[in-house]
Amino acid sequence: MTDRQGGNTATTPSGKPRAASLGLRFPGASGRLNSITDVKGVSVGYTTIVEGDGQLVVGKGPVRTGVTAILPRPLDQLCAPVMAGLFSLNGNGELTGSHFIEEVGKFSLPITITNTHSCGVARDATIRWAVKRFPEHFSDDFALPVAAETYDGFLNDINGFHVTQEHVSEAINSAASGSIEEGSVGGGTGMKCFGFKAGSGTASRIVGFDEMDYTVGTFVQANFGSRKDLRILGHSIGQRLTDPKVVQNSPDPDLSSIIVVIATDAPLLPHQLKRLARRATLGVGNTGGFARHGSGDIFIAFSTANGVSNSYAPKRLLNLTMIPDEHLDPFFEAVVQSTEEAILNSLIANSDMVGRDENFVPSIPHLEIRKLAESAR
């Protein structure tokens, strides 16, 4: 299956099906890969940690977790900030570097996403990696990297602190452009969404403006929602999907979250990127999410356009380009569409998982999704 841009987007590199392969027809024109990596210069890397089975022994496992790294620029340009904006729909979660982004509208270095109790490790390890990789830059400068989290304690020994500095470095060093894996990989390894196995997902859209084509690429770590609320392309399907059921042998606190990372090569300023980040709310809502009390729904958008000065900018005027605010509607629509599709990709490109205490989370039944797609035609 190819999208409107001619790319093969039906499966992940390992052959896992994506939403489009089940016949779902999404609005908008996707990029060649239908991925955040359609944005030139953006790359993604994972470290996936799956170890042990059986009853939970804190510190020993079972382990179902990992780290995702999203590099906003090519490796040799990572110290050059990108303009950014963020939005917290429900703040029961963490995204480090947020105060700096709110203050100056930019950040540098990789974004990392992991589990809730490893967010600090991911942040600190990113700084250690950066200081080692760019010693001249950080000899007299500081780093405030972005690290985000969602909770995987239903399947993972989250209090065992299994994510290490080496795991974070591995995710950053493995980052690559091109098609990326989805589902139970990286930080999304132990996540669930709408009562099904979920985790990492991505999608993209092409937006035309002034005879130029720009890309909006979205990546999600999806870990939210109750099954009864699931909607797919406007169809309430969750209440019909009663089987297979989650097997719960230990407490399952309502600690749901979603992290959304939006990348674009369109020349947008920080206030405009905040507006894009805010629109991810509608994509989450289209799938049935409504920002529960215990949910950390935090969204960040950045632009690779406009080279942004670092701490040592020369004392002169900077020339920046921007798309007028009055013409942002197609970009808003692209965020909504790609967020919705990325969430569904995280569900569909997945399989059953057994974790701590033999807790079981099933994958979403593909046959039911195919039936829905056929009935919607």
How much is the pLDDT for 319?
Answer: 86
Q: What is the sign of the dihedral through the CA atoms of 267, 272, 275 and 277?
A: positive
Q: Is 257 a catalytic site residue? A: yes
| pLDDT on residue 310 | 67
Which positions ≥6 away from 33 have C-beta within 8 Å? 7, 9, 178, 179, 204
The pTM is what? 0.96
Mean pLDDT throughout 293-319?
86
What number is the average pLDDT over the span 100-128? 98
pLDDT surpassing 60 at residue 78: yes
Quick: pLDDT tens for 249-292. 998 877 789 999 999 999 999 999 999 999 999 999 999 999 99
> pLDDT of 211-250, one tens digit each?
999 999 999 999 999 999 999 999 999 999 999 999 999 9
pLDDT per residue over 155-177, tens digit each?
A: 999 999 999 999 999 999 999 99
Annotated catalytic residue, options 108, 295, 303, 363? 295
2-43 pLDDT, tens per residue?
A: 443 444 589 999 999 999 999 999 999 999 999 999 999 999
Ordered by start, the domain boundaries in the chain are 19-376
In angstroms, how far apart are the furthest CA atoms of the chain? 63
Active site residue 351: no
Which entry of 257, 303, 338, 363 is annotated as an active-site residue?
257
Clarify whether 169 is annotated catalytic: no
| Topology (CATH) of 19-376 | L-amino peptidase D-ALA esterase/amidase (3.60.70)
**What whole-number percentage of the chain has pLDDT above 70?**
97
Q: How far apart are CA 349 and CA 19, in angstroms?
A: 8
**Is 364 within 8 Å of 350 (Cβ atoms)?**
yes
The active-site residue, picked from 152, 157, 265, 297, is 297
Helix-helix angle 119-133:165-173, to 10 degrees: 60
